[in-house]
């Protein structure tokens, strides 16, 4: 028997629950986020919640999938625009990083943090599927940057030997660290400044 397709109202409710859950998890962690508070905030019944998610673990997986999809869309758009503005593989990438820094700088408040990182900190709460999904999200960052560095290196071979996987991972480690510092010090300008420093470092690695 075919399942009934969710209505527009149902999709809106699901999205509202995911948005509320993300806000709560970033503020106090997954363990500190209860189904009851989400139900109250969304203004639905308990059965309404379980219509969308079979349990809290199912909510965690949906939350992470939503976050990773948005994360990929943002990066795709930034670096697509960078390549449109400069077709050179290195300089298009540097433009993309500049756009990334500008996006971060335009945030009027401190960035709330990274959902994927918060899931890593509390990984004992999640099943194997969620942990593997989170790891795949991290590896996606590595592949994205490594593929670009391979392309850049064909035109601009580094003068000194460099581990391109480590250089790719540096993007994620830098952003995560910057978000932690930004939140601790209540300084929203830390992430964009760190992205620009990474941009300068990449330029130096591939300079002739």
Query: pLDDT tens digit string along 86-127?
Result: 999 999 999 999 999 999 999 877 888 899 999 999 999 999
Torsional class of 113: left (φ above 0), alpha (ψ -120 to 50), beta (otherwise): left
The CATH number covering residue 47 comes to: 1.10.10.60
Residues 106 and 6 in one domain: no
Residues 143 and 176 in one domain: yes
Residues 159 and 195 in one domain: yes
Within 10 A of 7 (CB to CB), how many other CB atoms are there? 9
- Say what the alpha-carbon torsion angle 36, 118, 68, 123 is, to the nearest 10 degrees: -90
Map tokens 């629950």 to a residue: 17
In this prediction, residue 208 carries a pLDDT of: 67
Does 198 score more than 60 pLDDT? yes
In this prediction, residue 110 carries a pLDDT of: 80
Does 189 score more than 90 pLDDT? yes
Mean predicted confidence (pLDDT) in 15-20: 96
Q: Quick one: tokens of 43?
A: 């203004």
In this prediction, residue 1 carries a pLDDT of: 34
Mean predicted confidence (pLDDT) in 170-184: 94
The CATH number covering residue 71 comes to: 1.10.357.10
> Helices 164-185 and 128-155, interaxial angle, to 10°?
120
Torsional class of 114: left (φ above 0), alpha (ψ -120 to 50), beta (otherwise): beta
Its pTM stands at 0.88
Map tokens 């999904």 to a residue: 133
Contact 202, 91 (CB under 8 A): no
Does 145 score more than 70 pLDDT? yes
In this prediction, residue 70 carries a pLDDT of: 95
Q: How confident is the model at residue 9 (pLDDT cuts 50, 70, 90)?
A: low
In terms of Cβ atoms closer than 10 Å to its own Cβ (0-12, 13-18, 19+), residue 117 is middle
Total domains, the chain: 2
Query: pLDDT tens digit string along 33-67?
Result: 999 999 999 999 999 999 999 999 999 999 999 99
Map tokens 């965690």 to a residue: 60
Q: Which domain holds residue 32?
A: 1-53
Radius of gyration (Cα) for the chain, nearest Å? 20
């Amino acid at each position: 028997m075919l399942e009934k397709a969710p209505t527009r109202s149902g999709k809106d409710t699901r999205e509202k629950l995911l948005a509320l859950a993300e806000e709560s998890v970033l503020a106090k962690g997954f363990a500190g986020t209860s189904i009851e508070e989400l139900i109250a905030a969304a203004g639905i019944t308990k059965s309404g919640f379980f219509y969308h998610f079979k349990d809290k673990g199912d909510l965690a997986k949906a939350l992470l999938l939503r976050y990773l999809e948005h994360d990929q869309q943002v990066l795709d758009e930034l670096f697509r625009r960078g390549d449109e503005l400069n077709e050179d593989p290195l300089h298009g990438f540097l433009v993309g990083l500049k756009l990334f820094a500008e996006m971060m700088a335009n945030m009027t408040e401190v960035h709330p943090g990274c959902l994927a990182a918060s899931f890593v900190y509390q990984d004992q709460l999640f099943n194997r599927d969620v942990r593997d999904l989170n790891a795949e999200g991290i590896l996606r960052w590595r592949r994205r940057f490594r593929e670009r560095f391979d392309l850049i290196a064909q035109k601009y071979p580094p003068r000194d030997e460099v581990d391109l996987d480590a250089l790719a991972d540096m993007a994620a480690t830098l952003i995560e660290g910057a978000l932690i510092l930004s939140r601790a010090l209540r300084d929203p300008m830390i992430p964009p400044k760190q992205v620009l420093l990474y941009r300068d470092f990449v330029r130096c690695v591939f300079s002739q």
